[in-house]
Amino acid sequence: MIYIRSFIFCGIVCAIAQMILDNTKLTPGHITTIFVVVGSFLDVCNIYDHMILWAGGGALVPITSFGHLLIHSAMDKATSTNFIGLLTGMFNLTAAGITSAIVFSFFLSLLFKPKD
């Protein structure tokens, strides 16, 4: 059942992005940035947490979860250390994604030549 729900959720997010891309002059870079901001906005009232409980992995795959994880880890830290926690805890949960992207892309770029 969770597979169907993650299919529906992730599919709808991608379809919305595709409709924005087709009907406006925005580039994919604009759209991913907008979706990250939307993801962090949805965490203001803990809406995105409910979405993850409902859709499971389907809600963690789209780029909106990146914005959600940023604010979620910052707020986790802020509950114990107050305002400074927003600065110290920002990358706690997204560290895996950012670090792996840097490390993999660095070593793979040493191995491969650009295709054109």
Q: Hey, what are 19's tokens?
A: 């409709």
Cα torsion angle, 96, 100, 103, 106, sign: negative
Under rule CB under 8 A, residue 79 binds other proteins: yes
CB of 69 to other proteins, least distance (A): 9
Question: How many residues lie near other proteins (CB under 8 A)?
Answer: 69
**Whole-number Å distance between alpha carbons of 98 and 106:** 12
CB of 73 to other proteins, least distance (A): 9
CB of 113 to other proteins, least distance (A): 8
**37 near 67, Cβ under 8 Å?**
yes
Short-list 64, 30, 34, CA closest to 47: 64
Looking at residues 55 to 74 of the shown chain, list those that interact with other proteins (rule: CB under 8 A): 55-58, 60-63, 65-67, 70-71, 74
Under rule CB under 8 A, residue 18 binds other proteins: yes
